[in-house]
Amino acid sequence: MVGPLISDRAAADLEGFARPLWGLTPLAAGGGEFDHWELYRRGLANGTDPEHPEYWGQVNSTDQRMVELAAVGFTLRLLPHLVWEPLPQKAKDNLAAYLKHARQFDYADNNWKFFRISVDLGLEECGVEFDRSLTEKYLDELDGFYLGDGWYHDGNIRRVDHYIPFAMHFYGLIYAKLARNDDKRATAYRERAGLFAKDIRHWFDEDGGTLAFGRSLTYRFACGGFWGALAFADLEALPRGEIKGQFMRHLRWWSTQPIANRDGVLSVGYGYPNLIMSENYNSAGSPYWALKAFCRWLCRPTIHSGRRRRLRR
């Protein structure tokens, strides 16, 4: 993440609240059990209520909150029956107003543009009206970052690192799976990811370790989220056995590293707790972007095909 960034304690609290949703949401969408959705409903209600002491604070410029709200949009899109429909009307109104307010500001000129798009997927699922021209604007601008042969640069800097698999392609594949009435872009995202898979597999060794390359290394196995996103989008970019092998070896490699402290909480660091590896935007909750790796593999998700439709078994 780059660019002018506002991050305070409330934003850090939102980060720790939202990032686990990248793993919990696919788990529940695929029929897995998680017993604490009431806590998430309460958090959404309290965090978007300006009168509540747990209010997340208002977005007024390029802000860390924009990053974290992408997970909220993703969850609203997949699990409206768990996180939206049970809310009282006042909480729905506050949540919708908060998301709509945040999305009107300019996001950083890089992968952040996908965060507005993720929010929009959730708003659409919940039947909330919003300015769709902003969605189209960012989708067009994201296409401008494409270099060809499956590769992007992350913004208007010709930088290539793990943000390509765990951001540009990750969000593109989610969009390809969840967007409605945009077959052209969905096809393009899938084709680009198919090309990229043939290259990125060489960034992982036979034990599952990967190049420690670029920014935000504290996200650790998030770079393996690309393999989960391929499965989420039902894209056989490589033989399915190879995709699964890449994914499983990567997680097994990380399971051998001392990356947690206290009572098993992921630490800031890379191969071990190490604050020198932190970025100026990291908080204690930052490493939980690693759960992007579980976009598909915890359970097979059942995607809502219409607003308020029940999950099909």
Q: What gap in Å lies between CA 291 and CA 289, rounded to an integer?
A: 5
Do residues 102 and 119 lie in contact, with contact meaning Cβ atoms separated by under 8 Å? yes
User: Residues with Cβ < 8 Å from 64, sequence gap 6 or more?
Assistant: 1, 5, 6, 7, 11, 12, 14, 15, 281
Do residues 35 and 43 lie in contact, with contact meaning Cβ atoms separated by under 8 Å? no
Calculate Rg over the CA atoms of the chain.
18
User: Tokens representing 166?
Assistant: 């765990």
Per-residue pLDDT of the chain (313 residues; tens, 9 = 90+): 444 455 688 999 999 999 999 999 999 998 999 999 999 999 999 999 999 999 999 998 999 999 999 999 999 999 999 999 999 999 999 999 999 999 999 999 999 999 999 999 999 999 999 999 999 999 999 999 999 999 999 988 877 899 999 999 999 999 999 999 999 999 999 999 999 999 999 999 999 999 998 889 999 999 999 999 999 999 999 999 999 999 999 999 999 999 998 788 999 999 999 999 888 888 999 999 999 999 875 445 455 544 433 333 2
Sign of dihedral through CA atoms 14, 15, 20, 25?
positive
Q: What gap in Å lies between CA 223 and CA 225, rounded to an integer?
A: 5
Nearest to 70 by CA among 107, 120, 115: 115
**In the beta sheet, which residues pair with residue 273?**
269
User: What ranges do the domains of the chain cover?
Assistant: 1-127, 144-300
- Start-to-end Cα distance in the chain: 38
Nearest to 100 by CA among 142, 55, 58: 58
pTM above 0.85, yes or no: yes
User: Residues with Cβ < 8 Å from 293, sequence gap 6 or more?
Assistant: 23, 221, 222, 224, 225, 227, 228, 247, 250, 251
215 to 94, 280, 281, 308: CA distances (angstroms): 34, 11, 11, 39
